[in-house]
Amino acid sequence: MIKKSFIIAILFLIIALNSFSQVSNLMIPPFTVETASKFSNLAYTCISTEYPNKLTHIIGSQSDVGTPSTLHPAFYGCGEWHSSVHAHWMLVKLIQLYPDLNQRNDIIKTIDNHFSQENLTTELNYIKNKNNSSFERPYGWAWFLKLTSELANSNDPVQKKWFNRLFPIAEVIKGLYYSYLPGLYYPVRRGAHENTAFGIMFALDYARATGDKTFEAFLIERAKFFYFNDHNIPASWEPEGEDIFSPSLIEADLMRRVLSREEFIHWFKDFMPQLPYSLNYPAVVADRSDPRGVHLDGLNLSRAWCMFELAKVLPDDSQTHRDLWQSGYRHASEALPNVLSDNTVGSHWLTTFAVYMYLSLSDIEQQ
């Protein structure tokens, strides 16, 4: 009996050492000013490229018919509204982090043109149109609030101007959250753009960046209503074939924002007692020419950012903490080589997910 137990222990040790060896050999390239330049070049081109374009647009009358740049003069690029919004977020973040970025002046000039008062008034009127109350809900909403929150506390005069022009739209979107979430009895859990947890997550960041305690309390209450009693999440069922988020990990990433550290550790232990095999290894992308199949590259990046953020909160000596760091490295290492590919169905948005992943890893080299 003792001999059998000893053999089992040795086998587990071999597996653990092999796993550590595999992870130690994985490389996540450092995010440097050169990386920022490559990413910003792609996004800079993207935000001014109108076609091809996928409009999510309800036509209420003949007057509602228009081209992407007519309907959305600020956010007509990158193939769709939400991708344009988060490309602008990424560019704002990079010029904040890298004052000497080569393209800085061109980026600022282009964003300033996009964020003219006239353009943003058109965007505001579009969002306020009763036919568009569910436009980009909640993914585009969330990214717009993230963009606005990134500018909320800037001391740069130009960025302050941008914030003041975006703020009225953000406040309309905030009002849409107040209308939408109380009528949602069940959260949307699938790992797609409709995911409720992601929608609340960046809205909560906005509430805190702007000091809106009422909105913050509302979002916390909704998050707890939807997710506080979840336990034994069936993460082994993940992923689906078109996911951009892990339903389980993005929920946990929201709840770490909502709960105290002690509350979260207790909640997460019941929610995900251990990291399932399905989350230990990156999703396989079978066809990167498929605009939805390539979502799985984004999934690997969003899984990685969630894993890094969750690992920071959990006790350093816990197995789940170690598993999350190791799996996060696996996912990031698998996805990053595909971010700057020639495949435009993914490259127009994957850079944003990559930057957010690096921020979560806390591995962006700031100047």
Reported as a single tens digit per residue, the pLDDT across 237-254 is 999 999 999 999 999 999
Indicate the range of 31-35, 218-222, 288-292 predicted with least confidence.
288-292
pLDDT value of residue 47: 98
Residue 137 CA to residue 246 CA, distance in Å, equals 18
pTM: 0.92
Q: Torsions phi, psi of 364, nearest 5?
A: -95, 125
**Is 39 a domain residue?**
no
**Is 42 a domain residue?**
no
Q: Are residues 184 and 318 in the same domain?
A: no
Give 17's pLDDT tier (boundaries 50, 70, 90). very low
Q: Are residues 187 and 219 in the same domain?
A: yes
| Average confidence (pLDDT) over 13-37 | 66
Q: Are residues 260 and 314 in the same domain?
A: yes
**Is 306 a domain residue?**
yes
Which stretches within the chain are classed as H helix? 2-24, 33-46, 68-71, 81-97, 104-114, 117-128, 139-151, 157-180, 196-209, 213-227, 247-258, 261-271, 277-280, 295-313, 319-335, 344-361
Which one of 227, 246, 261 terminates a domain?
A: 227
pLDDT value of residue 5: 46
**Is 46 a domain residue?**
no
Q: Are residues 113 and 168 in the same domain?
A: yes
Q: Are residues 200 and 293 in the same domain?
A: no
Q: Are residues 248 and 180 in the same domain?
A: no
Tell me: pLDDT of 344 over 80.
no
Q: Are residues 221 and 233 in the same domain?
A: no
Buried b or exposed e, range 101-128, using 16+ CB within 10 angstroms: bebbeebbebbeebbeeebbeebbebbe
Q: Report the percentage of the chain scoring pLDDT > 70.
A: 92
Q: Are residues 327 and 198 in the same domain?
A: no
Q: Are residues 216 and 293 in the same domain?
A: no
Q: Are residues 256 and 236 in the same domain?
A: yes
Residue 68 CA to residue 56 CA, distance in Å, equals 10
Between residues 13 and 35, which one has the greater pLDDT?
35
Q: Are residues 222 and 232 in the same domain?
A: no
pLDDT value of residue 8: 38
Number of residues assigned to the chain: 367
| Average confidence (pLDDT) over 43-59 | 96
**Is 52 a domain residue?**
no
Report the half-sphere exposure of 356 (CA within 13 A, side-chain side): 25
**Is 10 a domain residue?**
no
Tell me: pLDDT of 343 over 50.
yes
| Average confidence (pLDDT) over 30-56 | 96
Q: Are residues 115 and 210 in the same domain?
A: yes
Give 364's pLDDT tier (boundaries 50, 70, 90). low
**Is 17 a domain residue?**
no
**Is 23 a domain residue?**
no
Domain region containing 117: 81-227
Q: Report the percentage of the chain scoring pLDDT > 90.
A: 87
Give me the number of domains the chain comprises. 2
Q: Torsions phi, psi of 265, nearest 5?
A: -60, -45
Whether residue 40 contacts residue 94, with contact meaning beta carbons closer than 8 Å, is answered with: yes
Which one of 172, 197, 227 terminates a domain?
A: 227
Give 361's pLDDT tier (boundaries 50, 70, 90). very high
Output the six-digit token pair for 228: 């506080």
pLDDT value of residue 311: 97
Which one of 227, 250, 265 terminates a domain?
A: 227
Q: What is the mean pLDDT of the chain?
A: 92
Nearest partner of 340 among 91, 40, 33, judged by Cα: 40
pLDDT digits (tens, 9 = 90+) for 134-172: 999 999 999 999 999 999 999 999 999 999 999 999 999
Cis peptide before 52 (omega within 30 of 0): yes
